[in-house]
């Protein structure tokens, strides 16, 4: 009988202890073991804001940085976008200026005219012309074609074997080179005479 009483007493103590523990875990008040005055709720914000705030802070008073990295930039700093304008210069020539291929002093007579439309037939009758070259400059170039049309050019500087000339207020191009030591060719690459090649021969 005595043993049963002891067991009953122990079970009562255990039941009371468990009940008190559950009650304190669910309800926290001024009389509970864990009170607001006994616990300090400290939140370290020094890594974010550089300061420590003690105690509980209502959500309405919490200050957050939308962009911490941006806050570090002073408001006075203004980044300006620089627009670099390229200088307007004249376009580069299509062909680099190089020394003339022919620097000999020449005084040649027109020998033949070849048409690109009929390269097999060389015109030798009713044609006249000559070319004078000094120090890489065509000083005189005169031609009278078989149909009576004529061309007179002066002071054409050679760029390698090319030259440019003005005819009727427009600029056109041609070439001057030699096939052997006795024969030289003037070839018009465009313009009204672009269909012809002039063959000059040393006398």
Could you read off the pLDDT of 98-109 as tens digits, one per residue?
A: 899 998 899 999
Residue 87 has pLDDT above 50, yes or no: no
Q: Give pLDDT, residue 3.
A: 54
Residue ranges with strand state E in the chain: 42-43, 53-54, 106-115, 118-123, 128-134, 137-144, 150-157, 162-167, 170-178, 183-188, 196-201
Q: Is residue 127 part of a domain?
A: yes
pLDDT for the residue 30:
47
Question: Per the structure, how many domains does the chain have?
Answer: 1
Most confident of 57-66, 68-77, 161-170: 161-170
What CATH number is associated with residue 132?
A: 2.40.128
**From CA 44, how far away is CA 66, in angstroms rounded?**
19
Range(s) of the domain holding residue 186: 106-201
pLDDT score, position 114: 93
Instruction: State the Cα–Cα distance between residues 138 and 103, nearest whole angstrom.
Output: 10
The reported pLDDT for the residue numbered 97 is: 83
- Domain membership of residue 149 (yes or no) is yes
Rounded mean pLDDT of 53-64? 52
Say which residue the tokens 């030259």 belong to: 163
Confirm whether 168 is domain-assigned.
yes
**Domain-located, residue 62:** no
Do the domain assignments include residue 14? no
* Segment 110-142, tens digit of pLDDT: 999 998 887 777 888 889 999 999 999 999 999
Is residue 87 in some structural domain?
no
Q: Is the distance from CB of 34 to CB of 28 less than 8 angstroms?
A: yes
Domain assignment present for residue 7? The answer is no
Residue 4 lies in a domain: no
Q: What is the pLDDT of residues 150-186, one digit of tens each?
A: 999 999 999 999 999 999 999 999 999 999 989 999 9
């Amino acid at each position: 009988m005595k043993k049963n009483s002891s067991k009953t007493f122990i079970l009562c103590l255990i039941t009371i202890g468990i009940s008190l523990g559950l009650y304190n875990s669910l309800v926290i008040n001024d009389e509970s073991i864990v009170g607001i005055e006994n616990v300090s709720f400290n939140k370290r914000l020094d890594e974010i804001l550089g300061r420590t705030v003690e105690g509980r802070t209502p959500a309405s008073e919490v200050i957050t940085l939308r962009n911490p990295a941006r806050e570090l930039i002073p408001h006075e700093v203004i980044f300006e976008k620089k627009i670099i304008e390229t200088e307007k210069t004249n376009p580069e020539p299509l062909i680099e200026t190089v020394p003339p291929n022919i620097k000999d002093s020449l005084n040649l007579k027109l020998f033949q005219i070849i048409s690109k439309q009929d390269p097999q037939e060389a015109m030798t009758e009713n044609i006249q012309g000559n070319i004078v070259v000094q120090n890489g400059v065509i000083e005189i170039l005169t031609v009278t074609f078989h149909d009576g049309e004529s061309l007179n050019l002066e002071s054409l500087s050679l760029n390698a074997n090319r030259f440019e000339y003005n005819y009727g207020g427009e600029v056109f191009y041609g070439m001057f080179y030699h096939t052997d030591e006795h024969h030289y060719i003037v070839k018009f690459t465009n313009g009204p005479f672009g269909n012809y090649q002039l063959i000059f021969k040393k006398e």
